Chain A
């Protein structure tokens, strides 16, 4: 069954994963979108602030998107997102990481301009197998409301 706005009450929504991230994936993404030495070259990376090869922050965001899709967006009546309020990159993404995604609904409201839809604001946290938090984000998504009289109030 497709999830709609009503299926996202404020509070804990769920935990998704694990998603394994390989060195090859990290280097492939960085080569295309973020070819800085700290994401490509082990030796340079060792001397960087992050002390070792790390994935691009945009790769981590994109992986979070895929984990959201596999976890719930893929079966949600999602109409897209207007943006991301905040992303904090707290620890580096490393080759071999097993990512877990914790999802909370921080806020949910009916759209004023499109009353047949609602805006669900998610608080997202990506952590690795040892529990280290890699990323925290706050991001709204536009989701269809269930058809029928209840959706027309």
Chain B
């Protein structure tokens, strides 16, 4: 996703890689941002709707960002190796329809992916387009655990007239 707006295509799919949510990482994130008992303690997790020590939903989302940035950096390095100048990501105006579909429990390995869902010109910013991607996380049993629709500004190769 470090290509220009004109190079992106609806339906394009990227695997972003996977991440293991260890008990230690779950507790470290939760103690800082979301210290609910089921995110901090195995026994409390077992007694909760989650059925085990569960990662904070914001941890699951933040790891998506981590892997998306790493994927973009790999893509940028490949472009640079071909002698191309990669585009930089713009910021994001927000997201919609984020669902934590199943718990992510200690030891789960989540594979993230991103699919381009729509592309539109930005009326207010002629140098940018807005790309929507459907992003997902799937656990080691093939169950969809996480999904959301992201928007991001993508630089145009040539500004809109």
Contact call B49/A49, Cβ cutoff below 8 A: no
Could you mark each residue 107-120 of chain B with 1 if its beta carbon is under 8 Å from any beta carbon of chain A, else 0?
A: 00000000000000
Please tell me which stretch of A1-9, A60-68, A120-128, A145-153 contacts chain B, meaning at least 4 of its Cβ atoms lie within 8 angstroms of it: A60-68
Which A residues lie within 8 Å of B61 (CB)?
Answer: 58, 61
Q: How many A-B residue pairs have CB under 8 A?
A: 103
Instruction: List 17 A–B pairs whose Cβ atoms lie within 8 Å, in order of A's numbering.
Output: A36-B69, A36-B89, A38-B91, A48-B88, A58-B62, A62-B29, A65-B58, A74-B36, A82-B99, A83-B99, A83-B100, A84-B57, A85-B96, A88-B94, A89-B91, A89-B92, A92-B91
Q: How far is the CB of B100 from chain A (nearest CB, A)?
A: 5
Chain B residues touching A, majority SS: mixed
B35 at the interface (CB under 8 A from A): yes
Q: What's the tally of chain B residues with a CB closer than 8 Å to chain A? A: 37
Q: How far is the CB of B127 from chain A (nearest CB, A)?
A: 9
Chain A residues touching B, majority SS: mixed
Q: How large is the interface on A (under 10, 10 to 19, 20 to 34, 35 or more residues)?
A: 35 or more
Which A residues lie within 8 Å of B98 (CB)?
Answer: 83-85, 87
Interface residues of A (CB under 8 A from B): 32-38, 48-50, 54, 56-59, 61-63, 65-66, 69, 73-74, 78-89, 92, 142
Q: A38-B91, A49-B153, A80-B48 are in contact. Are A69 and B57 (CB under 8 A)?
A: no
Which A residues lie within 8 Å of B91 (CB)?
Answer: 38, 48-50, 54, 57, 89, 92
> Which residue of B is nearest A47, CB measured?
B88
Could you mark each residue 3-40 of chain B with 1 if its beta carbon is under 8 Å from any beta carbon of chain A, else 0?
A: 00000000000000000000000000100111110100
Which A residues lie within 8 Å of B88 (CB)?
Answer: 37, 48
Q: How far is the CB of B75 from chain A (nearest CB, A)?
A: 13
